[in-house]
Amino acid sequence: MLFMKTKQFLISVIVICFSLNVFSQIQSIDTTLVVAENQEAELAFNNGNVFYLEDNFEKAIIEFTKALTYNPSFVKALINRGSAYAKLLKHNNAVQDFNQALSIDNNNNLAYYGKGIAHYYLSEYVEAEISLSNAMLNGLNSDNVYYYAGVVFFEKGEYQKALENYTLAISFNSKNALAYNDRGSVKRALLDFDGAIVDYLAAIKIDPKMAVAYNNMGSAKWKKGDKEGAGLDYGMAVRIKPDYFIAYNNRASVRFEMKDFDGAIMDCEKAIQINPNYAYAYNNMGNAKIKLKKYAEAEIDFTKAININSNFAIAYLNRGICKERVRNFDGAIKDWEIANSLGIEKAQNYIQFYR
Amino acid sequence: MNYQKILLIVLILSSYWGNAQNVPFSMDTFNGDKQKYKEAQSFLKNAEEAFEREYYSIALEFYLKANEYNQNNAQLNYQIGLSYLNSVNRFLCLSYFERAFQLNRDIDREIHLMLARGLHLNMRFDEAVNEYKAHLGILSPEQLRNIKEDIEKLIYECEVGKELMLSDANSFVDNMGHVINTKYHEHSPLISADESMLIFTSTRDNGRKVDEEGHYDEDIYISYNKRKLWETPENIFEPVNTQFNDATVGLSPDGQKLLIYNGNKGNGDIQICWLNGDTWIYPKNLPNEINSEFKESSACFSPDGNKLYFVSDRLDGFGGSDIYVSKKSKRGKWQEPTNLGNFINSEFDEETVYMHPDGRKLYFSSCGHNTMGGYDIFVSYLNENNQWSVPENLGYPVNSPDDDLCFVISADGRHGYFSSIRADGYGGLDIFRTTFLGPEKPLTLCNEDNLIAVRTNPISEQVMEKSVELKTIRLTIVKGLVSDAFTNNPVLAQIDIVDNNTSEVIYTSQTNSATGKFLVTLPSGKNYALTVKADDYLFHSENFNIPQATEYQEVEKQIKLNNLKKDAKIVLNNVFFETGSSKLKPTSYAELGRLTKLLTDHSKLKIEISGHTDNKGAKTTNQKLSEARAKAVVDFLVSEGVENARLTFVGYAFDQPIADNSTEEGRARNRRVEFKILQN
């Protein structure tokens, strides 16, 4: 309170000096300079927005929090702080703020929207679906609200609903490359590979630098049996995004299937160089080395994959096969037992052969 | 490359040519040592004689002795290669052919073919294909017609070999060891269903040499597996073994009936003998339905004993030896055999047939189908409609580019036994055991995609409420003093506050005429130009970009106004460009308007517009940018009606700093556009 009074006093002094025209020969006075009342909450809120727009979300949160200490029912501050929390991936805090905002204003579509997105990132798909639906019911009609609804349905495996929502998102904004990409992924899940490729291409047409769409298109082509086309698409993905280790790993797998084992190893090495903890790449590199009969090296790769992820059942399964190739039958059986305990049923058949 | 370097390379290469020179078997080679020369000549002579008579193993023995005296004779190396290629350990030919070729590239017209054979047998398939093609390339049209098909088959075998080598090895192959194998031939293994008994054929020393090469005739031996170890094999003697070649052919699943091959009967016939207790009863020829005037070399019973599969080179086949089957009539008589058909029998030889105890899998060797070289072992499946499937190559490592024959398999399918010649052999054909690892275990790849784009490409929208309108606004107070730059006397000047976003003058004030002092207040949240104008002076401008959140602040400015005279200059503080570009921002228009008005009011003024940068980046880039920005200002003025002749533009890059380039603030000041009066 003392601070507030001091500030008010200072501003008042300035205005008085201004009015007295001590220094200058003022011809007109801007009346907006008159400080009439205390609006510290609003000031803090606006300051928060400035920081938010500068992507300085930590400082934005401080300002929004300041605004809320002045006015705990300041819905806009709650929404914006929730949104800033979401930007910092603190989705639980975000949900709390959005819920608080909705407890004050039950029809606030922005609060529902933000809450829906935060629930999505918390993998709480049912809550996300409800919130996004409420956002729509309360008048929020944008491509992104339908896009997120599509995403949530996709995650829930409700592909038909996902398809409908992505299509609505596209109808609201025909330049929404993400919606095209995701709709392609839905079609892929529905085994409509040609349809998927058409959508991925549409996404790429809108955003030629969309490496993800190239990667996904590669996978759709791979599933269609077009390994060569898949390899080229993965190649485009890594050309656009040189640190795209997932695409390198995917191209490694296509090369593996095309029996280009040296090429597969090179791609796995690249993926690992970018992401040294990418267990999948170690696993796939091990497979390629088995094919090249480099069993000792392959076993090391599988072990690295397992060290990264001790529950990596497939790496255990493959390491068992690798050990079998060098007649380490006991070692193979132990690995298959672990793979089996981690859920791979066929490992039991492998073990059975030796009993 | 200069002459000396070329000469050096030639000298180095010539030293290799020198090493690779063909060394003849002459007295000079032996440095006059007549004794050694005579010994070498003698070995060569003996070798040649044996070679002529096609006693290759004997020839090889003498050639190798001669080779100890001179390893650099191309012809001798070539002969050793040929001898190996025509004897048992054929794969050993390669190094001698390679050496012969190294010593004399024209050693023989067929050297590329021989190299190809050696490479093929050593599983160097790509190189073998190249050599086969090289051989084809030097043939006359007639020679090509005669041999092309054969060479193309060999090339195909290499392609098959490459593919089989790449496919998963789902088995191991082990030599049966020195207890079973010797330096002589061991082949045609037969195994009891429980793998406790092994009957096989060997040419090991039985005291009866049969040819000039010192080979012994074939006898049948038996070994038992006790506690996972094979016991020393024993000759099963008469009446099964005779003074002629006696070889194992087939064993009934119950181990009570033994089929043997007797090379002394007809052109080679199959006989059967029964086990009575622990004694084999005198062999009996199979009837004429089976044994013909042609060669019958291999046979096996079906599990129920009612069918006999056998190999014969009789004339009604598909080419070479074929596999036939004969069924036993209700009276127990073997009926007229039928050819198993062209799914099983190729235009090349089929050999050594074996029916698995399940009666559905037929194993046999063939030089046709997709062999990787010589005889490979295949399996064909009999379906429910009694049709044979397309034979499958058992693949590497069971098969090799040389002959792989006489395959039998245990009842549980875990182990196969067969004959082959391998680098880890004990000499001649050996018996190997393969361990099958069960059904193929596919390797599992792990992949993922970014199916949902927002996971990797976050949407950059702001889910936020807009700022609220405030009744109180934060202030920036600018106070200062305006004076004459030359006399320092206070100047009565007009002060305009311009909102750069709208180019509107939102506030006008004057300095105190006595003190030159002024004070203006700037509410936060806008980009302002503060301009100071006085009669007969150049105007002065300052820029204040005050974000909404800016708290109360005071700024003091000492402004020196210059007279309108030559060389006077000012910084246009309210001219803005797009980042890294010479494109003017709309917020510049107010300032440029003032400049236009100045030039309009003073029609004799000629000015220079100069662009300046900070010292970040390359000089050439900054030079271009500073010049382009100056030109953009001039272009604007021209577009507003100012005569081009009154305007010049120049870029100084970072040659004329007005502040310290080591601080961000200083660099910001250095990035500027100035104008200077050239003439008034």
The pair of three-digit structure tokens given for residue B140, joined into one six-digit string: 């006359």
Nearest CA in chain A to B524: A33
CB B612 within 8 A of CB B654: yes
- Ordered DSSP codes for B409-444: E-TTSSEEEEEE--TT-SSSSEEEEEEE-SS-----
Identity of the residue in B446, B451, B523 whose CB atom sits nearest the CB atom of A284: B446
Report how far apart, in Å, the C-alpha atoms of B233 and of each of A205, A235, B173, B178 are: 77, 62, 21, 11
Count of positions (residues) in chain B: 680
- Distance from the Cα of B450 to chain A's closest Cα (Å) equals 6
The DSSP 8-state label assigned to residue B653 in this structure reads: T
What does the pLDDT look like over B144-155, one tens digit per residue?
Answer: 999 999 999 999
What does the pLDDT look like over A72-128, one tens digit per residue?
Answer: 999 999 999 999 999 999 999 999 999 999 999 999 999 999 999 999 999 999 999
What does the pLDDT look like over A120-137, one tens digit per residue?
Answer: 999 999 999 999 999 999
Nearest CA in chain B to A281: B446
Mutation pick from A30, A78, A176, A260 vs chain B, by most beta carbons of B within 10 Å, is: A30
ipTM given for this complex: 0.81
Amino acid at B444: T
The pair of three-digit structure tokens given for residue B527, joined into one six-digit string: 């980009």
Backbone angles phi and psi of B506, in degrees to 5: -105, -5
Question: Can you give the pLDDT at residue A266?
Answer: 98
Count of positions (residues) in chain A: 355
Q: Rounded to a whole number, what is the distance in angstroms from the first to the last CA of chain B?
A: 68
- Mean pLDDT over residues A6-24, rounded? 33
The DSSP 8-state label assigned to residue B231 in this structure reads: P
Residue B443: list chain A partners with CB under 8 A: 287, 290-291, 318, 321
Q: Do A110 and B454 touch (CB under 8 A)?
A: no
Higher pLDDT, A35 or B469: B469
The burial class, CB within 10 Å (0-12 / 13-18 / 19+), for B294 is middle
In three-state form (DSSP H/G/I as H, E/B as E, the rest C), the secondary structure along B108-150 is CCCHHHHHHHHHHHCCCHHHHHHHHHHHHHCCCHHHHHHHHHH
- Residue B679 Ramachandran class (φ > 0 left, ψ -120 to 50 alpha, else beta): beta
Rounded to the nearest angstrom, the gap between the alpha carbon of residue B350 and the centroid of all alpha carbons in its chain is 36
Question: Can you give the pLDDT at residue A30?
Answer: 32
Residue A147: list chain B partners with CB under 8 A: 454, 459
Euclidean distance between CA atoms A326 and A314, whole angstroms: 19
- Mean pLDDT over residues B451-480, rounded? 77
Identity of the residue in A25, A151, A259 whose CB atom sits nearest the CB atom of B166: A259
Residue B520: list chain A partners with CB under 8 A: 24
Q: How many CB atoms lie within 10 A of CB A345?
A: 8
The burial class, CB within 10 Å (0-12 / 13-18 / 19+), for B24 is middle
CB within 8 Å of chain B, chain A residues 232-261: 246, 249-250, 253, 256-257, 259
User: pLDDT confidence of A26, banded at 50, 70, 90?
Assistant: very low
What does the pLDDT look like over B622-657, one tens digit per residue?
Answer: 999 999 999 999 999 999 999 999 999 999 999 999
The DSSP 8-state label assigned to residue B585 in this structure reads: P
Q: Do A46 and B521 touch (CB under 8 A)?
A: no
Question: Can you give the pLDDT at residue A37?
Answer: 45
CB B573 within 8 A of CB B543: yes
Q: Do B547 and A50 touch (CB under 8 A)?
A: yes
Identity of the residue in A18, A110, A287 whose CB atom sits nearest the CB atom of B465: A110
CB-based contact, A161 to chain B, within 8 Å: no
Between A202-206, A307-311, B113-117, B329-333, the lowest mean confidence (pLDDT) is in B329-333
* Fold assignment, B564-680: 60s Ribosomal Protein L30; Chain: A; (3.30.1330)
pLDDT over 70 (residue A9): no
% chain B with pLDDT above 90: 52
Euclidean distance between CA atoms B590 and B499, whole angstroms: 9
Question: Can you give the pLDDT at residue B412?
Answer: 81
Q: Do B166 and A291 touch (CB under 8 A)?
A: yes
> What's the sign of the alpha-carbon dihedral B338, B342, B348, B350?
negative
pLDDT over 70 (residue B165): yes
Residue A283: list chain B partners with CB under 8 A: 444-446
What does the pLDDT look like over B67-76, one tens digit per residue?
Answer: 999 999 999 9
- Distance from the Cα of B467 to chain A's closest Cα (Å) equals 5
Question: Can you give the pLDDT at residue B265?
Answer: 66
CB B354 within 8 A of CB B362: yes
pLDDT over 60 (residue A23): no
Mutation pick from B171, B396, B456, B465 vs chain A, by most beta carbons of A within 10 Å, is: B465
Report how far apart, in Å, the C-alpha atoms of A148 and of each of B215, B498, B585 are: 85, 44, 37
CB B610 within 8 A of CB B571: no
Euclidean distance between CA atoms A338 and A306, whole angstroms: 11
Q: How many CB atoms lie within 10 A of CB B679?
A: 11
Indicate the average pLDDT of chain B.
88
- Ordered DSSP codes for B344-388: T--SS-EEEEEE-TTSSEEEEEESSTT-SSS-EEEEEEB-TTS-B
Q: Do A80 and B464 touch (CB under 8 A)?
A: yes
The structure tokens 């052969």 sit at A353
CB-based contact, A355 to chain B, within 8 Å: no
Amino acid at B502: T
Q: Do B475 and A33 touch (CB under 8 A)?
A: yes
User: pLDDT confidence of B169, banded at 50, 70, 90?
Assistant: low
- Mean pLDDT over residues B594-616, rounded? 90
Question: Can you give the pLDDT at residue B511?
Answer: 85
The pair of three-digit structure tokens given for residue B160, joined into one six-digit string: 């098959």
CB within 8 Å of chain B, chain A residues 103-132: 110, 113-114, 117
CATH class of B19-166: mainly alpha
What does the pLDDT look like over A244-261, one tens digit per residue?
Answer: 999 999 999 999 999 999
Question: Can you give the pLDDT at residue B549?
Answer: 65
Residue A333: list chain B partners with CB under 8 A: none
Question: Can you give the pLDDT at residue B357?
Answer: 81
What does the pLDDT look like over B214-226, one tens digit per residue?
Answer: 788 899 999 999 9
Q: Do B471 and A37 touch (CB under 8 A)?
A: yes
Q: How many CB atoms lie within 10 A of CB B561?
A: 23
- Distance from the Cα of B66 to chain A's closest Cα (Å) equals 40
| CATH number of the domain located at residue range(s) B472-560 in this protein | 2.60.40.2190
Rounded to the nearest angstrom, the gap between the alpha carbon of residue B152 and the centroid of all alpha carbons in its chain is 26
What does the pLDDT look like over B288-341, one tens digit per residue?
Answer: 889 988 888 899 998 888 899 999 999 989 989 999 999 999 898 999 999 999
pLDDT over 80 (residue B436): yes
Interstrand relation of B647-651 and B606-612 (parallel, antiparallel or unpaired): parallel
Higher pLDDT, B8 or B181: B181
Show me where the domains of chain B are located: 19-166, 171-436, 472-560, 564-680
The burial class, CB within 10 Å (0-12 / 13-18 / 19+), for B287 is exposed
Identity of the residue in A80, A144, A325 whose CB atom sits nearest the CB atom of B459: A144
What does the pLDDT look like over A294-337, one tens digit per residue?
Answer: 999 999 999 999 999 999 999 999 999 999 999 999 999 999 99
Q: Do A24 and B437 touch (CB under 8 A)?
A: no
Mutation pick from B446, B459, B517, B557 vs chain A, by most beta carbons of A within 10 Å, is: B446
User: pLDDT confidence of B384, banded at 50, 70, 90?
Assistant: confident
The pair of three-digit structure tokens given for residue B621, joined into one six-digit string: 């880039």
% chain B with pLDDT above 70: 95
CB B294 within 8 A of CB B267: yes
Residue B512: list chain A partners with CB under 8 A: 23-25
Question: Can you give the pLDDT at residue A24?
Answer: 31
Query: Which of B301, B349, B304, B359 lies closest to B323, judged by CA?
Result: B349
User: pLDDT confidence of B136, banded at 50, 70, 90?
Assistant: very high
CB A300 within 8 A of CB A335: no
Nearest CA in chain B to A81: B464
Bridge partners (DSSP) of residue B261 are B247, B270
Question: Can you give the pLDDT at residue B20?
Answer: 56
Please, what is the Cα angle at B583 between B580 and B584, to 5 degrees?
115
Q: How many CB atoms lie within 10 A of CB B669?
A: 18
Q: Do A43 and B474 touch (CB under 8 A)?
A: yes
Q: Do B470 and A324 touch (CB under 8 A)?
A: no
Mutation pick from B415, B454, B469 vs chain A, by most beta carbons of A within 10 Å, is: B454
CB within 8 Å of chain B, chain A residues 51-80: 51-53, 75-76, 79-80
Residue A318: list chain B partners with CB under 8 A: 443-444
Higher pLDDT, B585 or A302: A302
Q: Do B509 and A47 touch (CB under 8 A)?
A: no
pLDDT over 80 (residue B233): yes
Domain B171-436: give its CATH architecture: 6 Propeller (2.120)
- Ordered DSSP codes for A116-134: HHHHHHTT-HHHHHHHHHH
pLDDT over 50 (residue B28): yes
Query: Which of B570, B140, B196, B116 lies closest to B373, judged by CA?
Result: B116
What does the pLDDT look like over B359-370, one tens digit per residue?
Answer: 889 999 999 999
Residue B475: list chain A partners with CB under 8 A: 11, 14, 33
Identity of the residue in A7, A75, A151 whose CB atom sits nearest the CB atom of B452: A151
Residue B457: list chain A partners with CB under 8 A: 178, 210, 212
The burial class, CB within 10 Å (0-12 / 13-18 / 19+), for A59 is middle
Interstrand relation of B361-366 and B376-381 (parallel, antiparallel or unpaired): antiparallel
